[in-house]
Chain A
């Protein structure tokens, strides 16, 4: 692995967005055949740096070298031609196209000038099989599949492009533990040959230390250090990332927790009975109590996200009932909001108006309450300002457009909206996706505060860490059914996984 010329160098690279100094004089090197991980807090500049490597951002100061030669990328196409492919944090797949088309987007195999469909399907199948994901039919349009598959397709696209440098910006944020595991192994295999390299961004330090050869830590746009992954200690990494000692998320590293239901008054705020929706979930019954955090864990595709949608009126169940404080819950999101149900979708893109200022994102459900027929921008800004300070959006400027925030901070905006008026039931799907440990802890703190104020929180996630960090009671879903309940006992990550996967094994191949 000791080839002398690095595959890629950044020399003294800086990037400003208006007043924000996103990167400050970065030196960075990727050697052939290595997995180089990049870690740092939300907003540290990781995505910005990778966008420079992938030709998405072209105006920066400093120099980039490819195989020792200075280059100035003209755009993403140029980067691809050189052999640099990127898996973006915000997915760039097209849900209306087939899986195969998405994999070969922009480089479909041609025969006599027209797309060679049979060959494209064949090769798409082969590449997914190589990734170990045979359960996906490449002829289906992508919108048939959950977010995890979108993520896989994006990964397959980068890998099959034949690129020498593959940049993965939080590739596992939508993957199940099993899929994550496979991706990590695949990433190792990819670099085994010694000519390909991977830059790997993730907030999961466990993944990072497992997969990477070297780790570079960014903080506030500065490179703190690059160290060998072998020598890296997680506590030490966190200290480097945050620049301070923190007691954080310990549970997620131990991967176990005492689940304890401390509520004397078991007053159900939401009762779900026999709820079914074909192809999504079946015969689901449970109670959510005021003031508790109920974790709903499941692998991607187990129907837990769909259940969340149904509670918010986005999906009409075909049978069963939902009762909120004694009255049936039916209808659309507007009615759900008015009854006191709040919802955060698993993919933040579908919940936010990226091109609009933060305050408009936050005030939209409450316009009628904040002011009358004529919205008062001053009042909206004031309301938004208060809640974004509470969740710690950085920068806390309500007039700023959401697109200018880093991924994690966008997510905080999506949550902050529901602090304007406390709901009775808060359905949150993957609230901490793409967040650093510090921000995760902040979000968990917010959820705990809300539950302390009497809100029933339904925490839906495919990340065992997220569930274990906050839930007081845990339901596990598999193949559309609730298969397990954990209460008043020691729960580990392995127990959750086993419960969620148990059903899957019995399924005929």
Chain B
């Protein structure tokens, strides 16, 4: 990037500036390195079809990750998102099986998710319970509700809309990818360009100062918990369409990947720093890594280990970056 006029204050010494920047852009470098690595070591990686696969594979994570980004920006966490996704999918299928008129099952399911999100928010913001505890309890509740509604059975009656969004295509592009892209885009516009978005960042940066400046920080925290619940619910509804059925544990395992992707991208766990562009990078890192490891026929029993190590390294970066004081 060319340095324009001297209007802004001069940059620090070139090397320091480079180092600072490279730390900030570490996720981008990680992505590039992984991408190049797999392109070189596998012939099946760098094909148009496989790129489509990667996008397809991360789409559900992207929908969920959008909400998680909001939550992390306020320095909270939500450990219940994947269970909420399962729950929402189950509710939508349950009422479809019970012959409720469409599209009501989907709306009811999303409303139920939003309601659980309100509980998360109230518990965190008003009752002052740490968010990881409230949402941990919520993950059990959501999971319990899924089991109770299905009695452990698989439901195959799905809302038609879920089927279309989950496995349909338009102009050769999967609806799933489009829904994910739109969710990310809307999330980005809200965070970047609205007053609410600014409040989210400022609440995470310093909750006390935000309160002193007249920001309703409790309301903001509740709102982001609801957003996370609704995006998780959306992922669940689209997800059952992709799987072709609703099972009582369908998406439970996505939790680590969803939070991991957001953190990998560089959104700070301490709030106030990061955003959707970072989440997109994080999603792509995870997607490329998962997919690439499949392509180079690494011992399948090592895949999780390798992913875990990379996640850990990224977390270390995240903490180090957040902990930097003196520029």
Specify which chain B residues have a CB less than 8 angstroms from the CB of A19 in the assembled complex: 9-10
Within residues 443 to 496 of chain A, which ones have a CB less than 8 A from any CB in chain B?
A: none
Contact in complex: A353, B194 (CB < 8 Å): no
Size band of the interface chain B makes with A: 20 to 34
Within residues 174 to 212 of chain B, which ones have a CB less than 8 A from any CB in chain A?
A: 193-195, 198, 201-202, 205-206, 208-212
Specify which chain A residues have a CB less than 8 angstroms from the CB of B215 in the assembled complex: 334, 364
Given A18-B10, A19-B9, A337-B214, A353-B209 contact (CB < 8 Å): yes
What is the bound-complex CA distance between A128 and B198, given in angstroms? Answer: 44
Contact in complex: A333, B211 (CB < 8 Å): yes
Give min CB distance, A325 to chain B, whole Å: 19
Given A19-B9, A360-B202, A397-B9, A343-B212 contact (CB < 8 Å): yes
Contact in complex: A350, B195 (CB < 8 Å): no
Whose C-beta in chain B lies nearest to the C-beta of A347? Answer: B208
What is the bound-complex CA distance between A334 and B213, given in angstroms? Answer: 7
Give min CB distance, B201 to chain A, whole Å: 8
What is the bound-complex CA distance between A375 and B196, given in angstroms? Answer: 10
Given A17-B327, A395-B9, A355-B195 contact (CB < 8 Å): no
Question: Is A374's beta carbon under 8 Å from chain B?
Answer: yes
Specify which chain A residues have a CB less than 8 angstroms from the CB of B208 in the assembled complex: 350-351
Contact in complex: A350, B209 (CB < 8 Å): yes
Specify which chain A residues have a CB less than 8 angstroms from the CB of B214 in the assembled complex: 333-334, 336-338, 364-365
Question: Is A352's beta carbon under 8 Å from chain B?
Answer: yes
Specify which chain A residues have a CB less than 8 angstroms from the CB of B304 in the assembled complex: none
Most A-side CB within 10 Å, residue of B193, B214, B215, B272: B214
Question: Is B216's beta carbon under 8 Å from chain A?
Answer: yes
Give min CB distance, B295 to chain A, whole Å: 40
Contact in complex: A375, B205 (CB < 8 Å): no
Contact in complex: B10, A355 (CB < 8 Å): no
Give min CB distance, A95 to chain B, whole Å: 11
Size band of the interface chain A makes with B: 35 or more
Given A19-B10, A353-B205, A355-B205, A333-B272 contact (CB < 8 Å): no
Contact in complex: B12, A352 (CB < 8 Å): no
Contact of B202 among A56, A312, A356 (CB under 8 A): A356
Whose C-beta in chain A lies nearest to the C-beta of B216? Answer: A334
Whose C-beta in chain A lies nearest to the C-beta of B11? Answer: A18
Question: Is A237's beta carbon under 8 Å from chain B?
Answer: no
What is the bound-complex CA distance between A367 and B210, given in angstroms? Answer: 12
Contact of A367 among B195, B209, B216 (CB under 8 A): B195
Question: Is B273's beta carbon under 8 Å from chain A?
Answer: yes
Question: Is B43's beta carbon under 8 Å from chain A?
Answer: no
Question: Is A33's beta carbon under 8 Å from chain B?
Answer: no
Specify which chain B residues have a CB less than 8 angstroms from the CB of A56 in the assembled complex: 326
What is the bound-complex CA distance between A345 and B213, given in angstroms? Answer: 11
Given A352-B206, A374-B193, A400-B9 contact (CB < 8 Å): yes
Whose C-beta in chain A lies nearest to the C-beta of B219? Answer: A334
Q: List 16 A-B contacts (CB under 8 A).
A: A16-B12, A17-B12, A18-B10, A18-B11, A19-B9, A314-B212, A334-B216, A338-B214, A352-B206, A353-B272, A355-B273, A356-B201, A364-B214, A364-B215, A365-B214, A373-B195
